[in-house]
Structure formats: C-alpha cells, structure tokens
A = this chain, B = another copy of it.
Amino acid sequence: MIIQLKKDLHSSDLENLIGKISSFGYKITPVSTQVGDYLIGIGSKNIDIRKIGHLRGIQDIHMVSDDYKLVSKKWKVKPTVIELGDGIAIQDGEMAIIAGPCSIESEEQIINVIGHLKESGIKLMRGGVFKPRSSPYAFRGLGMEGLKLWYKLAKEAGIKIVTEVMQVSQIEEMHDYVDVFQVGARNTQNFNLLDELGKVDKAVMIKRGISGTIEELLQSAEYVFSGGNEKIILCERGIRTYERASRNTLDLNAIPILKAKSHLPVVVDPSHGIGIREYVPQMALSGVMSGADGIIYETHENPDKAYSDGQQTLNFEQSALLAEQIRKTFALRKTFPLL
C-alpha cells in the first residue's frame, strides 16, 4: 500500500496517521523524496481501503501488490522525467543518446570524445573513472582526479556526465562532479550503496544485474526511491546465459516489460549487451524499436587502443552514423500507434 501524503503535514498528524494505519496490521515505512512524502504499508491485503482513505493528511492511496511499490506504474501512471539541467532530460517519449569510452584515460582522450559528441549532437557522455575489474591486477581507472578533469571539460562543453560509483565512500567525493551516478551490474544488489544513493539529489542509473531478474532490478530501484531519491533510470545491459557467441545476451524483452511495470525511464546498453563492435548498431536500433527511452554505448577515437572494452567500442565515424540512425529509427517509432 502506498499512501501519498499532503504537503507540509504536521509531524504530530504524521505520527497519528502512522499509529492508526499500523493498528490495521500494517508495518509502515515513511519515505520522503525531492518530490513528495509517502507511507509504505506492508501487511494485509484484504483491508477496506475506505477505512484509511478518509484520514487527515492523506492525498491519495494505492494498493500495489508487487514486491516493489514506489517504482510501480500501478500507482504512478505518469512517466518520470529525469531532468539533468540545461534542458537535457531522460524521459519517455524522447530518445536520449549517451556515448563515451569505457574508461576515462587522459585529457586528450576526453577532449577528443567531447569534440565528437558535440559534432554529433550528443549531450550525455559516459565513462568510467573507477573500474570494477575481475582481476586485482588490471587497470582500475584514473579515480577522482580523472573525474574532476573530465567534469570541468564536459561542463564547458554543455555535456552531462554518467559515471559509475562503486562504493558508499565514493558518493560524497564524486557528488559535485557527476550528473548521473551509475550503479554497475555487479552492484545492482549492493543494498547499502543503493540506500545511500537514495539520500542524494542526483540521478541514479541502475544497471540490471549480471544475472538479475526484471523483478530484482525494480526492487533495487525501490531501494533508491524509498531512500528518498526519485531520479532513477533503469538500464538493460545483457544477462548471463549459456550462449557464448555473444559476450552477454542483451535481453530486449525486458524493455516493454519494464516500461509496462514501471514509470521510470529505461535505457539500453548494446555495447555490453552483445559485446561485439560489429553488431552494436543492430542491437542499438533494435533497442530503439523495443521501446527504450535511451541508448548508451561505447565510443573511442581508436577503439583498438582503448584501455578496456575495445572489442565492443565504436570509432567516431561509426558512432556518428549510429546516432543518426537512432534518431531516424526513433522518429519512425513515434509515428507507430501501438508502441
């Protein structure tokens, strides 16, 4: 049960409200976000909603039977818009393009990528400064110094930054240099990290777990939302299956399902999804037709010299062409009544 509270509710009214609803057998979790105040009630499903609905301070009340609540479309039909400032947003009905290298490598590399993005009309840049690596002996990223440099250059160019945060202790130091915090596939169920990102007033993009279910992705988003942050983007990036001809199995089935279940925007990462440069464009365009609100892919001036993920990275020429095709495909999709 989700109870939307009226604005500026007095704390004694709130206590009173919690007490009364609890008395019907519900365990209540109060949630306050940038947007509103809510009570989440877990308990009996057979209550007569009218017994609660008339209580003072309640704006609206919704029964949501899913394990996730606040991220469900069952109570919030209107799609969530993620405003990033300067007129840049990620939202239903638009097509965000997010491109950039796997790892931030050097000033020169950043300048090159930004130049390419500006030429191609791309306003969101991805890149890693803290890199999760399965081997402890591999390159782990440039860290905060790289981030600060990147942020300065991106800001000058009017470009927004999407980058991975790997642990709670990084949130604070990264905060001022990040437009979208990315939670990587290995951290989708790092619940402490999600909790803490709930306390931040920056957008959070959560990647689906390496073998995460759609349900689990939504529950991870619920952590951030119930922590206080409604600015959440979901990202499909390929799941682990028995098939090894592709790096992962990009699961585009997830897109219409996520869009039907949740009011949050959904983006597709074809680079990690299929993991083979030659096939990234097809997967990106398929992603557009599957109903995604954005595409995030990897590009680098010289993919074969990239510090990481070169095999799935497009060069600038390929990237410019893909961005154009994404826009044309999306323009066609918008003319289709069914989607």
Task: Assess whether A136 is in contact with B223, with CB atoms less than 8 Å apart.
Answer: yes
Q: A92 to chain B: closest CB distance in Å?
A: 14
Task: Assess whether A256 is in contact with B282, with CB atoms less than 8 Å apart.
Answer: yes
Task: Assess whether A290 is in contact with B286, with CB atoms less than 8 Å apart.
Answer: yes
Task: Assess whether A243 is in contact with B219, with CB atoms less than 8 Å apart.
Answer: no
Give Cα A220–Cα B136 distance, bound, in whole angstroms. Answer: 8
Assuming the A-B contacts A135-B67, A137-B29, A191-B132, are A245 and B223 also in contact, with contact meaning beta carbons closer than 8 angstroms in the complex? no
Which residues of B lie under 8 Å from residue A223 when comparing CB positions?
A: 136
Interface residues of A (CB under 8 A from B): 27, 29, 40, 42, 67-69, 132-137, 166-169, 186-187, 189-193, 195, 209-211, 213-216, 219-220, 222-223, 226-227, 239-246, 249-257, 260, 273-274, 276, 278-279, 281-283, 285-291, 318, 321-322, 325, 328-329, 332-333, 335-339
Which residues of B lie under 8 Å from residue A283 when comparing CB positions?
A: 252-253, 256, 290
Assuming the A-B contacts A191-B133, A336-B325, are A210 and B213 also in contact, with contact meaning beta carbons closer than 8 angstroms in the complex? no
| Cross-chain contact of A190 among B42, B186, B249 (Cβ < 8 A) | B186
Give Cα A210–Cα B186 distance, bound, in whole angstroms. Answer: 10
Integer count of this chain's copies in the complex: 4
| Cross-chain contact of A329 among B241, B289, B322 (Cβ < 8 A) | B289
Which residues of B lie under 8 Å from residue A289 when comparing CB positions?
A: 282, 285-286, 288-289, 329
Which residues of B lie under 8 Å from residue A195 when comparing CB positions?
A: 136
Give Cα A321–Cα B257 distance, bound, in whole angstroms. Answer: 21
Closest to A31 in B: B136
Q: A80 to chain B: closest CB distance in Å?
A: 18
Assuming the A-B contacts A40-B137, A286-B289, are A242 and B245 also in contact, with contact meaning beta carbons closer than 8 angstroms in the complex? no
Task: Assess whether B250 is in contact with A250, with CB atoms less than 8 Å apart.
Answer: no
Give Cα A255–Cα B274 distance, bound, in whole angstroms. Answer: 11
Which residues of B lie under 8 Å from residue A168 when comparing CB positions?
A: 167-169
Q: Given A245-B257, A253-B274, A253-B279, list of 12 further CB < 8 A pairs?
A: A135-B222, A166-B192, A167-B167, A167-B193, A186-B189, A214-B245, A257-B276, A283-B290, A286-B290, A288-B289, A328-B335, A328-B336
Closest to A167 in B: B192
Which residues of B lie under 8 Å from residue A250 when comparing CB positions?
A: 252-253
Assuming the A-B contacts A251-B249, A286-B286, A289-B329, are A213 and B190 also in contact, with contact meaning beta carbons closer than 8 angstroms in the complex? no
Give Cα A336–Cα B241 distance, bound, in whole angstroms. Answer: 31
Q: A16 to chain B: closest CB distance in Å?
A: 22
> Across chains A and B, which 9 residue pairs bring their CB atoms closest together, nearest first?
A211-B211, A286-B286, A256-B279, A285-B289, A186-B189, A246-B253, A167-B192, A214-B245, A286-B289
Task: Assess whether B332 is in contact with A213, with CB atoms less than 8 Å apart.
Answer: no
Give Cα A67–Cα B281 distance, bound, in whole angstroms. Answer: 28
